[in-house]
Amino acid sequence: MVLEFFKGGADQTLEDIEATIADMLLMNRHTFDLAINALVGGTDPATVGKEIRKSDRRVNKAERRVRRELVVHTSVRGRRADLPRVLVSMSIIKDAERIGDYAKNIWDLANAGVDLSDASDIDILCSMRDRTSKLLADCARIYQDRDTAAVHALVPILDEELDEYDACLLNQLDSTAAPRDAVSRALLCRYLKRITAHVMNMITSLVMPVDRLDYYDEEKADRE
């Protein structure tokens, strides 16, 4: 429990950094909601493109700021720095940044003219949308509160969702739909899977040792 170890006497700088990382997740949720609704909710992509880019830039700036602050913290504190906690934060800010990129990729599909709002399986697509949006909010809370019990409860559920996205993607190989539709769905499933995997990396940083931080980013067959 890398972060939990330091919970009692945490350095305020690191507390502030972790609060920033949680805020990045909420910014990513905003980006995701705008992007996915342009794809499956009937929103005109042109009306949300500017806000999506603005939100993505905020996340990128936060990532750079966190990195600078971690370097300064380590330099100033020297051997007194909480190095495991610094390493964890340095690792998972990249996960947070990548979540925003995949959300933006979803908008790119909509901006390219893909519209799934009247798809025959719109209920399934909306269910994926809603659970992913909720997941980002839940992740921010779990990370901020260091809720290790919630991590252990959530990981098996997310592993099942990763399998579902894999099945969704593979189904497109045998799809009789038009190539544009099949490719769009395959990409959407891929993006949702990557968002979910990055969330798993972030929340499991609360319960995994530093050397196994990206454990859940691997395919199940490749995990050791």
Per-residue pLDDT of 33-67, as tens digits, reads 999 999 999 999 999 999 999 999 999 999 999 99
Question: Would 5 be classed as within a structural domain?
Answer: no
Cα–Cα distance, 44 to 138 (Å, whole number): 28
Question: Would 161 be classed as within a structural domain?
Answer: yes
For 7, phi then psi, to 5°, come to -60, -40
Q: Which of 198-202, 212-216, 218-222 has the highest mean pLDDT?
A: 198-202
Domain tally, the chain: 1
The CATH number that applies at residue 64 is 1.20.58.220
Residue with token string 């395919």: 219
Question: Would 56 be classed as within a structural domain?
Answer: yes
Cα–Cα distance, 216 to 3 (Å, whole number): 18
Cα–Cα distance, 13 to 3 (Å, whole number): 14
pLDDT-based confidence at 211, cuts 50/70/90? confident
Which DSSP state fits 192? Answer: H
Residue 118 has a pLDDT of: 93
- 135 Cβ contact list (under 8 Å, min separation 6): 158, 195, 196, 199
Question: Would 3 be classed as within a structural domain?
Answer: no
Question: Would 64 be classed as within a structural domain?
Answer: yes
- 4 Cβ contact list (under 8 Å, min separation 6): 146, 148, 206, 207
HSE (side-chain half, CA atoms, 13 Å) at 52? 27
Task: Output the six-digit token pair for 21.
Answer: 């990382």
Q: Is the distance from CB of 129 to CB of 40 less than 8 angstroms?
A: yes
Question: Would 165 be classed as within a structural domain?
Answer: yes
Range of the domain at 218: 11-222
Question: Would 6 be classed as within a structural domain?
Answer: no
Q: Is the distance from CB of 158 to CB of 200 less than 8 angstroms?
A: yes
Task: Output the six-digit token pair for 46.
Answer: 């042109």
Cα–Cα distance, 216 to 201 (Å, whole number): 6
Q: pLDDT tens across 79-113, in order?
A: 666 778 888 898 999 999 999 999 999 999 999 99
pTM: 0.89
